[in-house]
Structure 1
Amino acid sequence: MKLSSSFLALLILGGLTSCDKFKITTTEEGDRLIIHEKGKSGKTAKEGDFLTFDMVIKSSTDSVLKDSYKDGQPLMMPLQKGQFKGSFESGLAHIGEGDSTTVLVSADSLFTMMNQPFPPGISKGTDLKFTVKMRKVQTQEEFQKEIADKKANEGKYIEDYVNKSLKGAVKTPEGLYYSEKTAGNGATPVKGDTVVVSYVGKFLDGKEFDKSELGQPFSFPVGMGYVIPGWDKALMMMKPGSKRTFVIPSTLAYGEQGAGGVIPPNTPLVFDIELVSVKK
């Protein structure tokens, strides 16, 4: 369940329409852009500014490699200096708030820099297409203020959610809320026991960001730090066969750092969890 913090991991994950009919603009820095739409603000980022955007990555044959729209959550990252000419990061510096732009990135340059072999479906001499819809460009000061406001109001957001969507939920001393759908049987797991779980992870607005694969529950030793603290605490309160919905505050989830551009900082999470079995 742990999410990768590497932005480049996005390349191996799973649209946008073909952009071959659009004109390619090459900047003085060597970035190649296809401009689909210009925003009204014209606000672009400088190195260190924080960006929030939706993105679809496609191969040269239009196979979708990543789609943040399907993931249900925009990506968030500081603008960093590109590590090679024509990099995605360099292209981002030309995309203003509200713009929709495709950045063409040489697969040869990218995978040479990553020191990784070409994955299936990506050939040498081709380009990857990063199509970005820029939602927000913020200075570090603006971003930090937004995060501080969100942190200060997190408790209220959770209470509002519970009162609306999880009435009757129990609150634990650690700050977890839970509602039991199915009572289990047997002993609750203890630290070191191997648990098998099925789950769906959502934000307070109901959008899913993660779930176990159908027919392939997730297995790990509980209480050993393999998952977020809220999960360890939640599972050691459940019995085999139990199904519960948990609301986990950010302090027991991914905290002030967030996770991999998918989970923003100071974000409470909702999990539907089934404890399938426990192995002592």
Structure 2
Amino acid sequence: MFKKVILIGIVFIAVVSCAQKEARKPVSIRSGTFLKESVKRNKALIAKEEAAIQKYMDLDTVNTYLASPNGFWYFYNEKTTLETYLPKKGDTLVYAFNASRIAGATIYSNEEIGIQEYVVDKQQTIPGLRYGLQLMKKGETVTFLFPSHIAYGYHGDNKKIGTNVPIQSTITLLNIKKDNKNLETEN
């Protein structure tokens, strides 16, 4: 009798364990509202920054600003007609720049930052600087107005530039060291 009970128990467990298992339902359901609200906040922030930059440009009657397709504005302090070469991928750019608040106090001076080098599309840098340098020819000085999302963004630089700070930066492109591939295609 005991053996029959054990045998029935084993058969019962085997049948129950072979039954198809039903998938568990998720504990929490994501509605996507956080992401939607974040996008909404970011759009509002960008619109606010762009309006402030536009107001600044409207008050500046001395300079003529150009709009970049990458979402920033700029004007030439010094424009050259002697140079025609624009930086290409792999070129090393030697430049000096500063960073300040739009129409405000200097955050980093040229002296503090020193001379910088950037290899086009092969090194990390803020998007505004990356796009801006590629618009310049050797010897030119350009002032850029970068909204925070293409400057230092939400995190800032973890030093002097805080969260969501639009930046005004004057950059002088001192030299372009052409990549060997670019020298070959130029000739």
Preserved CA contact (<8 Å) 1:193 1:221: yes
1:270 partner amino acid: Q
**In structure 1, what is the Cα distance between the partners aligned to 2:109 and 2:71?**
23
Deviations 1:220-250 (A, max 9, x none): 2122343211101001110000111111111
**In structure 2, what is the Cα distance between the partners aligned to 1:168 and 1:151?**
22
Asked whether 1:236 is paired with 2:131, we answer no
Q: Percent identity?
A: 28
Aligned length: 135
Structure 2 counterpart of 1:265:
163
Give the SS at the match of 1:272.
Answer: strand
Match of 2:148 among 250, 259, 272: 250
Structure 1 counterpart of 2:124:
226
Deviations 1:141-194 (A, max 9, x none): xxx9xx877554111111111112364200011111110121131301112211
Structure 2 counterpart of 1:187:
85
Deviations 1:190-214 (A, max 9, x none): 1221111111211013211113338
Structure 2 counterpart of 1:134:
none
Structure 2, unaligned stretches of length 5 or more?
Answer: 1-37, 179-187
Preserved CA contact (<8 Å) 1:225 1:232: no
**In structure 1, what is the Cα distance between the partners aligned to 2:47 and 2:87?**
34
Taking a change above 3 Å as real, the CA distance of residues 225 and 158 of structure 1, as seen in their structure-2 partners, is farther
Of structures 1 and 2, the one with the larger relative CO (CA 8 A, separation 6+) is 2
Structure 1, unaligned stretches of length 5 or more?
Answer: 1-143
Equivalence map 1:9-158=2 (5 Å): 150-158=45-53
Preserved CA contact (<8 Å) 2:120 2:130: yes
Give the SS at the match of 2:98.
Answer: strand
1:209 partner amino acid: I
**In structure 2, what is the Cα distance between the partners aligned to 1:263 and 1:151?**
17
Structure 1 counterpart of 2:73:
177
Higher deviation after alignment, 235-244 or 256-265: 256-265
What's the TM-score once normalised by structure 1's chain length? 0.44
Structure 1 counterpart of 2:64:
168
Deviations 1:68-110 (A, max 9, x none): xxxxxxxxxxxxxxxxxxxxxxxxxxxxxxxxxxxxxxxxxxx
Preserved CA contact (<8 Å) 1:191 1:224: yes
Preserved CA contact (<8 Å) 2:46 2:147: no
Asked whether 1:196 is paired with 2:94, we answer yes
Preserved CA contact (<8 Å) 1:154 1:266: no
2:137 partner amino acid: K
Preserved CA contact (<8 Å) 2:46 2:149: no
**In structure 2, what is the Cα distance between the partners aligned to 1:174 and 1:220?**
19
Taking a change above 3 Å as real, the CA distance of residues 224 and 249 of structure 1, as seen in their structure-2 partners, is farther
Give the SS at the match of 1:277.
Answer: strand
Structure 2 counterpart of 1:99:
none
Higher strand content, 1 or 2:
1
